[in-house]
Structure 1
Amino acid sequence: MRKKGQVTLFVILGIMVLLSISLFFYFRLSQIEVPEVTPPEYVPVQDYVEACIYDTGEEAIRQIGLHGGYVEIPFQIDRDPSAYLGLDSQGLLKIPYWYHNMQNRYPSVSFMESQISDFVEQNLDRCLRDFEPMSESFEVTPRGDIEVTTTIAEDDVVIEVDYILNVRLLGEDTESHIGRFSTDFNVRLKRLYDLAVRLLEKENEQTFLENATLDLMAMDSQIPFTQMYISCQRKNWFQQDIEEEIETLLTYYTPRFRVKDTAHAPFAADQETYDYFGSFTLKDIYEGKRPDRELPEDAYDYFHHFFDIGIDRTDLKAGFIYQPGWGMNLVVRPSDGGGLMYSDTARGSTDYFRFFCLNIHHFTYDLSYPLMVVLKDEEAFGGQGYSFRFAMPVIIDHNQPDRKVVGTTLFETPSEYIDFCGEKGDDIYDIRALGVDESGFANMEIDDVNISYDCYKFICRLGSTTAEEGAYKLKTQLPESCSHGYLLAEKQGYLSARQQVLEEKQIFIPIQKLKEMDFEVLRRKYFGRDPPHLASEDLPLDDQTSVMMIIYNYDEDSYYNFREFPVAEDATEDLSKVELIEDTTKYELNLMLLDEDGLILGGYVGNWSVSWQEVADSGKVTFRVVEYIPTPVTEEETYDALNYLQTDTEYQEQLRPVLS
């Protein structure tokens, strides 16, 4: 009996081990996601969707690079002119400062991923165009919302989209579904971001830019610092002249700053040559030990403008840019308060020195100016290249670098936090979106409008308006831990709108309907001399010119159109049209006529008022720009041209856009 009991025990133990192993492999295999395989006959639909994901995703990624890591600049930056660098006189093109008020301020990687995902979610439908291009072969029916996940990896960006589609081949009875799409972008956004953060951190530690600026100022004979010389005549300087001299220095020299171990422009000599000259000390020179080689012409750049941030060798590029139009803040001491700087003189007190005058001056400078940093991945997007840029101020106080850092603010992902969104209050809200419906009737309740609740840190999706009790509306509760947040209303073909929740339980959110229109840009010559006059003939653009166009609306802050003409051949459908609000309203137009090198040739700057009837009766907009003759070359000529564009009301009226 004892032996039989032992055998039974071993059998039971064996079964338990076998069962444990089986369960281990079962759960291990159950966690492995089997990739969805699209039937071959439906691959064209999948390719079509993924092509749209690529186009929309590329636009978002490029916006990230243009705006310092943001697709949409956060409200607290956008509304604070001191928090960004405005690239134009009207502050339309903005690059956020990554260092502001003694704090590092830049987006986190997760924030960038979130903004890319949001942009694709909001704009993918526009590219898909209700699958109209596929309608000759397929019937495609969406069965769910678009959900996007973006991953910024070391060497690429991956956008994954979950979007369930029922697909049927015309002439066939059976249908299949496609639900998962993925697109890869060969852009090293993460490496560019890491390089940007590293550069900012090392600038804060080393004050390289402030020291380089002080060196440039000290080496310029037109900028006085400290000097003593024999003269009885007081010497004067004007602060305006000093400021213009500093601007000239920075414009010329900042592009020559290089970052060590990036793909910078090569120096004139090899490394050993600079090491040789760097080995000499002032003591060596004083004792007569002098180099026996010819000094390279760019030795000053190597020893003063070569920024070592301690990175491994990379093929990414880094550059710095300053433009005089960006301005600067300059305070000089001593001065008379009106911009006049002067030296002090003293006459000798003894008979021997009574004709001897000593002239002394010592000036201290407080200076701050914006600098744009541009990082480039030349291999991105199949060799098209990609730029990531951000801005930071260079700050000097009493002739010393002044770059204190008291903290870092990371812009994080606005969370769609499940616990926060799930804990609802007791009150039921009746939410409706009002606007022009598909039949053209105004002030109507709109169907299928996505409603979200924005409570500053969190965003909760509440649902969509549907037919209920004879009206299109959404009846829902709101998160109980946040009062007086904002309801967001979004629908394809309409401007997004927001309405604050106050005391009323029935909330109407006005949303503006948009109308897509074809557009073109023509040019008209303006002769600035002998005598100045505007020609009467509209001409097409030259092959070597293009127009960059930005349109804002005075009534709707969320309205924004950025377009380029001629439209690129590979541009998405939405970029080949402009959208106008189907209402009587007023726009702010900013069009710049550029040559192939990006130099300004002219443009149009002005306001445009248009009625809802004009929009309703039209399908095309013709914009017109001035071509300034002679072509502006110098800064003064460019200023004259821009001043004409901004102030001459006669041309603004003659070249108003034409609807047809």
Structure 2
Amino acid sequence: MREKRGAVKRAQLSIFMILGVLLLLAGIVWFAIINATERSSPVPREAAPLNAFITACVKDAGDAAMRQIGYTGGYADIPQSIAADSTSYLRAGPIDSLRQPYWWHDGVSSVPPLDFIREEAERMAAREFASCIDNLSAFRQTYNIAALREPIARVSFNEKDVSVSMSYPIHAATKDNATTFSQDSFEASLPIRFTRIYGLATTLMEREDKDAFIEHRTIDLMAMDENTIPLSGMEFDCSPRVWQQDAVRQRIQELMSVNLPFIKVQGTPYSTTQYVPQPEGEKETFGNSYYAQHYLWDLGAGEFGGLRTAFTYDPRWPMVFNARPGSNGLLKAEPQQGADILSKICLNIYHFTYDLSFPIKVDVIDDTPQQPYVFSFAFKASIDHNQPSRGNTGYALFDQEDTIVSDEYCANKDVEATVLTVDNTTGDPVKGVNLTFVCGRYSCDMGQTEWFGFGAAAGIVERFPRCVNGVLKAKAGGYLGSSQFMQTEMDGTTTLVFLTPTKEISAIKVVKHPLSNPGQAQLPSASETASIVLAAKDSEFKSYTLSPSSATLPLQFLTDTQHTYHVSIRLLTDEEVTGGYEGDWTPSLAQLQGAESITLHAVQQATGTDEEQFAFMSDLGTHSAKVPLPQLT
């Protein structure tokens, strides 16, 4: 009987334990549902239209930024250093926004890094967002709204999409204060696989530098049309052979424009029906065609996730063309006649070499989103004496000036460091230098340098935020901007910043001279603009300007020592090149130090055919010798 009562008690205890566990599980599920509901619906119903509008603006702004990045090959805004140099970009359309800076040109690799592109997208997204919301004017009759600061965009390139986060703290309340709404940031996602797209684009550019694929295909095309494009030959003929250089160039351009678009990339989807079959012979398929053997480009990187590529060459784009030996626009092969009994036999041996430089545009296309995304970039192909010429002589620097300022990061300064600023030429201290410390995404204004020790030195002693690989940037009037690495891991370090002195000249005058009468000087017309580039021949220093210009863009010269500059000028009328100048110039330090203005000279040919204008620009260096060197006054 006692055992029976014990068994009943144990059974009751088990039931209570089971019920307790069930109640605990029910509570967990209940709170999970409540929390999930709260997370999915944080916006009051009355504020839902405002939240939806802001979120839509985030998405539209991010999309606009990414489309612009796609149009230009990685830029939200074309840098002034590129816009002022017409040889460094491809004008791929009738409007300025369709300028595409070259990823490679004239021996310089200029592929924008992914971090640079992200910051370009963030800057444009913030700008487009501010325009879209229009200070929330459409909602101010319904809400009292306080925006606590200007919008700051954060863009992340993910494997499958691009996420945009807009930091834009606002507080809103209905007019009767019955409903309030506060939010710090707004999110949106774009179905753009930019990481994968950029990976294909940069892989293709790296392999072009290594394989010279475009140059080899162009040389093949030239060799296949020996009647129109002479290379090397031997003929038993007593008649001279003559070719028009313009006709040869036009034929090369025609062959490229027709054939280069058939280039396919292994690992991307492509049509096997789009190729030019042989006019006769056995039945041809793409697999056994010339195009499958020579126009299928293996980048050695496997599959690219369904991305497509397209290659474009347009004969209207500028081409540098030089053929030798040649004169007066002609290529000639003169026969050599035998002697004595061989007097009636003539041997005509010829060998011509060509230099070509021309743009290629590549589109990387993602068809998977509802609205396909296209990323376009351009580069120059280069042929020297019938051989590919893709040696890199330098790399472009991408100065990410508009780094996002973070008050939170910059406020956390706990490492004391000394920075001294010194003239690189005289060794004298330099006062009034603006210093900026950059660590990754964050930029901190560190103030200006002041005198130390009654003028014995100039610098600052400040606390810096911690950073292993920071960059210290220095700017001062009369000096070249400086950037150098700086570690802020321990107290008491001293960093020396050496500044190179410069001379700026804002009074710029351009005089043009007709080729037919170089002694005659004329001022450019109101519709003409001069693009001016000065490049020091012994360093990577360049200075750019436009004349006339709505902005103050002075020409800058190095004054640490005497330098020789290559002067490149292009006279532009509606972005069509009508004249220019190419030549070297060595101003003395005394001339620069006393100068207040500069006069630059350019040579211009009277209007002629496209072929005549092309020939004139191809020999611009020779024509430039007929006009005066730049003059400092």
- Per the normalisation by structure 2, the TM-score is 0.57
Cα distance in 2, alignment partners of residues 397 and 373 from structure 1: 22
The residue type paired with residue 484 of structure 1 is A
What is residue 272 of structure 2 aligned with on the other side?
A: 266
The residue type paired with residue 197 of structure 2 is L
2:25 counterpart of 1:37: no
- Partner of 1:411, secondary structure, is coil
What is residue 373 of structure 1 aligned with on the other side?
A: 362
Identical positions, percent: 27
Contact 2:311 2:360 in 1 (8 A): yes
Cα distance in 1, alignment partners of residues 437 and 85 from structure 2: 18
Cα distance in 2, alignment partners of residues 88 and 135 from structure 1: 41
Task: Compute the displacement of 1:460 (Å).
Answer: 5.7
2:85 counterpart of 1:85: no
2:196 counterpart of 1:186: no
- Partner of 1:82, secondary structure, is coil
Cα distance in 1, alignment partners of residues 69 and 199 from structure 2: 14
Task: Compute the displacement of 1:320 (Å).
Answer: 0.9
Cα distance in 1, alignment partners of residues 102 and 134 from structure 2: 37
Contact 2:169 2:185 in 1 (8 A): yes
2:172 counterpart of 1:167: yes
What is residue 283 of structure 2 aligned with on the other side?
A: 294
Task: Compute the displacement of 1:405 (Å).
Answer: 2.9
Task: Compute the displacement of 1:260 (Å).
Answer: 1.5
2:332 counterpart of 1:342: yes
The residue type paired with residue 311 of structure 1 is A
Contact 2:405 2:444 in 1 (8 A): no
2:372 counterpart of 1:385: yes
Task: Compute the displacement of 1:132 (Å).
Answer: 2.4
The residue type paired with residue 359 of structure 2 is P
The residue type paired with residue 253 of structure 1 is N
Contact 1:107 1:412 in 2 (8 A): no
2:113 counterpart of 1:105: no
Cα distance in 2, alignment partners of residues 97 and 56 from structure 1: 26
What is residue 69 of structure 1 aligned with on the other side?
A: 74
Task: Compute the displacement of 1:213 (Å).
Answer: 0.2
What is residue 363 of structure 1 aligned with on the other side?
A: 352
2:193 counterpart of 1:202: no
Contact 1:322 1:371 in 2 (8 A): yes
Which of 100, 103, 107 is residue 95 of structure 1 equivalent to? 100
Cα distance in 2, alignment partners of residues 225 and 319 from structure 1: 30
Contact 1:239 1:340 in 2 (8 A): yes
Residues 50-85 of structure 1 deviation map (CA, whole Å, 9 limit, x = unaligned): 111111211111110111111112333222222211
Cα distance in 2, alignment partners of residues 376 and 400 from structure 1: 31
The residue type paired with residue 358 of structure 1 is L
Cα distance in 1, alignment partners of residues 134 and 94 from structure 2: 37
Cα distance in 1, alignment partners of residues 436 and 254 from structure 2: 47
- Partner of 1:263, secondary structure, is coil
The residue type paired with residue 365 of structure 1 is Y
Compared CA separation, residues 149 and 481, structure 1 to 2 (3 A): closer
Contact 1:267 1:302 in 2 (8 A): no
Which of 213, 222, 225 is residue 218 of structure 2 equivalent to? 213
Task: Compute the displacement of 1:455 (Å).
Answer: 6.7
Which of 324, 327, 344 is residue 318 of structure 2 equivalent to? 327
What is residue 302 of structure 2 aligned with on the other side?
A: 312
Contact 2:435 2:445 in 1 (8 A): no
What is residue 535 of structure 1 aligned with on the other side?
A: none
What is residue 238 of structure 1 aligned with on the other side?
A: 244
- Partner of 2:210, secondary structure, is helix
Contact 1:367 1:397 in 2 (8 A): yes
Cα distance in 1, alignment partners of residues 477 and 347 from structure 2: 69
Cα distance in 2, alignment partners of residues 73 and 354 from structure 1: 65
Residues 570-629 of structure 1 deviation map (CA, whole Å, 9 limit, x = unaligned): xxxxxxxxxxxxxxxxxx9989xxxxxxxxxxxxxxxxxxxxxxxxxxxxxxxxxxxxxx
Residues 63-113 of structure 1 deviation map (CA, whole Å, 9 limit, x = unaligned): 101111111123332222222112358977411111134232111111111
Contact 1:238 1:340 in 2 (8 A): yes
Cα distance in 1, alignment partners of residues 149 and 94 from structure 2: 45
Cα distance in 1, alignment partners of residues 444 and 241 from structure 2: 69
Cα distance in 2, alignment partners of residues 557 and 243 from structure 1: 39
What is residue 235 of structure 2 aligned with on the other side?
A: 229
Cα distance in 2, alignment partners of residues 333 and 416 from structure 1: 53
Contact 1:420 1:481 in 2 (8 A): no
Contact 2:246 2:329 in 1 (8 A): yes
Cα distance in 2, alignment partners of residues 135 and 90 from structure 1: 37
Cα distance in 2, alignment partners of residues 165 and 40 from structure 1: 17
- Partner of 1:130, secondary structure, is helix
What is residue 605 of structure 2 aligned with on the other side?
A: none
- Partner of 1:59, secondary structure, is helix
Cα distance in 1, alignment partners of residues 84 and 330 from structure 2: 35
Contact 1:454 1:485 in 2 (8 A): no
Task: Compute the displacement of 1:322 (Å).
Answer: 1.0
Cα distance in 2, alignment partners of residues 324 and 152 from structure 1: 36
Cα distance in 2, alignment partners of residues 62 and 44 from structure 1: 27
2:390 counterpart of 1:398: no
Written as runs of structure 1 = structure 2, the 5 A alignment for 1:418-457 is: none
Task: Compute the displacement of 1:331 (Å).
Answer: 1.2
Task: Compute the displacement of 1:386 (Å).
Answer: 1.4
Q: Which runs of 4+ in 1 moved over 6 A?
A: 89-92, 417-426, 453-459, 477-481, 588-591
- Partner of 1:106, secondary structure, is coil
Cα distance in 1, alignment partners of residues 445 and 40 from structure 2: 31
Task: Compute the displacement of 1:170 (Å).
Answer: 3.1
Aligned CA-pair RMSD: 4.0
Task: Compute the displacement of 1:327 (Å).
Answer: 1.9
Task: Compute the displacement of 1:324 (Å).
Answer: 1.4
What is residue 122 of structure 2 aligned with on the other side?
A: 117
Compared CA separation, residues 407 and 324, structure 1 to 2 (3 A): same
Task: Compute the displacement of 1:172 (Å).
Answer: 3.2
- Partner of 2:326, secondary structure, is coil
Task: Compute the displacement of 1:241 (Å).
Answer: 0.9
The residue type paired with residue 169 of structure 2 is I
What is residue 484 of structure 1 aligned with on the other side?
A: 476
Residues 382-417 of structure 1 deviation map (CA, whole Å, 9 limit, x = unaligned): x22111111111111111111113554463643457
Task: Compute the displacement of 1:156 (Å).
Answer: 1.0
Cα distance in 1, alignment partners of residues 368 and 112 from structure 2: 24
Cα distance in 2, alignment partners of residues 356 and 212 from structure 1: 37
- Partner of 2:350, secondary structure, is strand
Compared CA separation, residues 227 and 483, structure 1 to 2 (3 A): closer
The residue type paired with residue 239 of structure 1 is Q
What is residue 153 of structure 1 aligned with on the other side?
A: 158
Written as runs of structure 1 = structure 2, the 5 A alignment for 1:586-597 is: none
Compared CA separation, residues 399 and 379, structure 1 to 2 (3 A): same
Cα distance in 1, alignment partners of residues 380 and 114 from structure 2: 23
Task: Compute the displacement of 1:48 (Å).
Answer: 0.7
Cα distance in 2, alignment partners of residues 460 and 341 from structure 1: 59
Contact 2:161 2:191 in 1 (8 A): yes
